[in-house]
Amino acid sequence: MDVVLRKAKMADVRLIHRMLMDCASKRLLLPRSYTEIYSHLRDFIVAEYLDLSEVVGCCALSITWEGLAEVRSLVVTEGARGQGIGRRLVEACISDALTFGIYKVFVLTYQVDFFRKLGFQEVSKDILPQKVWADCIKCPQFPECDEVALMLEL
């Protein structure tokens, strides 16, 4: 089945939230509120089965600081996994980063092997103070975060 990537729309918010919360309940990623999704909707890309008009994945690129962005909220529905959709979503975020002139992209994740296959390398969270003080401080897991930080330098 053909999959297209596109920018998220207002009509996608509830589905994005549902996909994120489903994965969060399995401790695959951190939950995101409706407010966070609405506030950052322009950051999201969705993957959609063209023939069915069914959204099967999403990912967001969040600019953190000068020359630094984060790939976040990557989800591919269970039935659509193993088709390279996650890779395509991350690559689309990396392409967006390059469009903005951003050459360092990081991720905080539990899916370390997936991101290593895409060229990301493990780094210390200490090199991401902007992330820690902007987002992590609000996280229920702060300061006992068990996600792994990885970075890709383009």
Which residues are paired to 117 by β-bridges?
none
User: Would you state the pLDDT for residue 126?
Assistant: 81
With b meaning 16 or more CB within 10 Å and e meaning fewer, what string describes 112-148?
A: eebbeebebeeeebeebeebbeebbeeeeeeeeeebb
**Grouped pLDDT means (10 residues each) for the chain, 154 residues:** 94 96 87 93 96 92 92 95 97 97 94 96 83 54 74 96
CA–CA distance, 9 with 91 (Å, rounded to integer): 20
User: Residue 83: which residues within 8 A CB-CB, separation 6 or more?
Assistant: 3
User: Would you state the pLDDT for residue 27?
Assistant: 80
User: Would you state the pLDDT for residue 127?
Assistant: 83
Domain layout of the chain by residue ranges:
3-153
Residue 118, SS3?
Answer: coil
User: Would you state the pLDDT for residue 133?
Assistant: 46
Q: Residue 101: how many CB atoms within 10 A of its CB?
A: 8
User: What would the two tokens of residue 84 be?
Assistant: 């390279």
User: What would the two tokens of residue 25 be?
Assistant: 């309940």
- CATH code assigned to 3-153: 3.40.630.30
Token match 């039935």: residue? 79
